[in-house]
């Protein structure tokens, strides 16, 4: 449709809280080395691609019917994966899945947040928590962090007591800083949140497979208001699949049924995710390689004279820059796309293949020379 009159979204009768806001938008630029969205750089192995084709073909024969609305087989396999790797036994009744962990978070906010309610996160952290809060009409409270990007427990407890939020987000390992959160911190904030409201505490573990530490999953035991969210976008190397999931008390799983769209997970998605779960061991092998590369990036960046935040994720926050945007552009000029998350003085690089990481390290060494 062509329209002679220029019409912008501000001319539309959109909800007041969306007026003047920008959508989530990591630049998708066509450059040789893309280390900006925390993707896994390794394509799925060919035997898995073949298995996906097989399972999808099987699913295609039944596409005249709606998919399994409750995704029971998939949730059972996700529960098996969590039980094997997360240090805690969970069953299908503890697990819920959706199109990416972003949708999991959206469903949680639709259920436990919403108009007249609030959610808190400790920033800098994953910006979508605040954006999804806004999209669901949930008020957003930005809580504090320490200078070293760990959570300031006393300040966080105070913010929870004062604001009495309905949902508390704790991201571990945190994005964009890479910082893992201690179990004691989660327990302290859970207690504070229960005393204040009680509220739902969501531990976003999108990157936990890359961590030096164990998952916080066992903490859900006996804590019905604690939710752990996960994704197949990072460790499983399947960002294009769009499959996220949560583990929690079965009552939480029942609660999100109130807002989920019927048949939200297509039969193709369920079949693909099930095929990927059959290849868990191979995929976790790539995670080990990426952890080694992440540690190499930390060491080499420090050797090159950069400050680096300790990382438990598949990315590294490095700085400091007087003007991080100019530094981002200089690295881009050398063919390497990293992420400027808007944290003053810092940039974030995703661990790629050894060759990609070498290209990045060359670029930042060059930048250091220019700046000294
Ligand atoms: N949580 C965190 C902390 C993330 O960084 C991301 C993606 N970058 C997500 C959740 C969402 O991932 P997805 O929707 O692909 O599962």
Mapping DSSP onto H, E and C, the string for 123-169 reads: CCCCHHHHHHHHHCCCEEEEECCCCCCCCCHHHHHHHHHHHCCCEEE
Domains of the chain: 26-44+282-371 (3.90.1150.10), 46-278 (3.40.640.10)
pLDDT tens digits, 296-307:
999 999 999 999
Q: How far is the CA of 129 from the centre of ligand 1 (A)?
A: 10
Band the pLDDT of 4: cuts 50, 70, 90.
low
Ligand 1 nearest-atom number relative to CA 242 = 15
C-alpha to C-alpha distances, 74 to 60, 63, 96, 260, 267, nearest whole angstrom: 17, 17, 9, 16, 11
Ligand 1 close to Cβ of residue 171 (< 6 A): yes
Q: Is 275 in contact with 54 (CB distance < 8 Å)? A: yes
Ligand 1 close to Cβ of residue 40 (< 6 A): no
Angle at 93 (CA atoms; ends 92, 95), nearest 5 degrees: 65
Mean pLDDT score of the chain = 95
What percentage of the chain has pLDDT greater than the value 70? 98
- Is the pLDDT score of 27 beyond 80? no
Which strand ranges, in their side-by-side order, compose the sheet holding 118-122? 95-98, 244-247, 226-231, 200-204, 167-171, 118-122, 139-143
Per-residue pLDDT, 1 = 52
Per-residue pLDDT, 2 = 52
Per-residue pLDDT, 287 = 96
ipTM of the complex: 0.99
Ligand 1 close to Cβ of residue 231 (< 6 A): yes
Q: Residue 281: which residues within 8 A CB-CB, separation 6 or more?
A: none
Measured distance CA(360)–CA(367) in Å, rounded: 11
Q: Select from 123, 149, 206, 240 the residue to mutate for testing ligand 1; criterion: most ligand atoms less than 8 Å from CB.
A: 206
Nearest protein Cα to ligand 1, atom 6: 206
Residue 2 phi, psi (nearest 5)? -110, 140
Per-residue pLDDT, 17 = 82
Per-residue pLDDT, 143 = 97
């Amino acid at each position: 449709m062509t329209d002679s009159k220029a019409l912008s979204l501000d001319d539309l009768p959109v909800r007041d809280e969306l007026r003047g806001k920008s959508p989530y938008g990591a630049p998708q630029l066509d450059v040789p080395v893309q280390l900006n969205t925390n993707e896994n750089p390794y394509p799925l192995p060919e035997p898995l691609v073949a298995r996906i084709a097989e399972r999808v073909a099987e699913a295609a024969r039944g596409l005249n019917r709606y998919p399994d609305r409750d995704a029971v087989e998939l949730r059972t396999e996700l529960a098996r994966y969590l039980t094997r790797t997360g240090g805690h036994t969970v069953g299908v009744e503890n697990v819920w899945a959706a199109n990416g962990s972003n949708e999991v978070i959206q469903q949680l906010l639709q259920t436990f947040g919403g108009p007249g309610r609030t959610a808190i996160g400790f920033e800098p952290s994953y910006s979508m928590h605040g954006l999804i809060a806004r999209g669901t009409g949930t008020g957003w409270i930005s809580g504090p962090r320490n200078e070293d990007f760990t959570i300031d427990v006393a300040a966080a407890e105070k913010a929870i007591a004062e604001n009495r939020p309905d949902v508390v987000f704790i991201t571990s390992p945190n994005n964009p800083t890479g910082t893992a959160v201690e179990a004691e911190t989660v327990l302290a904030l859970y207690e504070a949140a229960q005393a204040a409201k009680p509220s739902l505490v969501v531990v976003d573990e999108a990157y936990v497979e890359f961590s030096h530490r164990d998952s916080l999953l066992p903490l859900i035991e006996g804590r019905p208001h604690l939710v752990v969210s996960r994704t197949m976008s990072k460790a499983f190397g399947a960002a294009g699949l769009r499959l996220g999931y949560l583990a929690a008390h079965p009552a939480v799983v029942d609660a999100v049924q109130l807002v989920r769209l019927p048949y939200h997970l297509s039969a193709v998605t369920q079949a693909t995710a099930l095929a990927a779960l059959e290849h868990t061991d191979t995929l976790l092998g790539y995670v080990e390689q990426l952890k080694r590369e992440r540690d190499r990036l930390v060491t080499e960046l420090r050797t090159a004279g950069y400050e680096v935040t300790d990382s438990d994720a598949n990315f590294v926050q490095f700085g400091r820059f007087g003007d991080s945007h100019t530094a981002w552009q200089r690295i881009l000029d050398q063919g390497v796309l990293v992420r400027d998350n808007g944290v003053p003085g810092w940039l974030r690089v995703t661990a790629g293949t050894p060759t990609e990481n070498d290209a990045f390290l060359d670029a930042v060494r060059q930048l250091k020379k220019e700046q000294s």
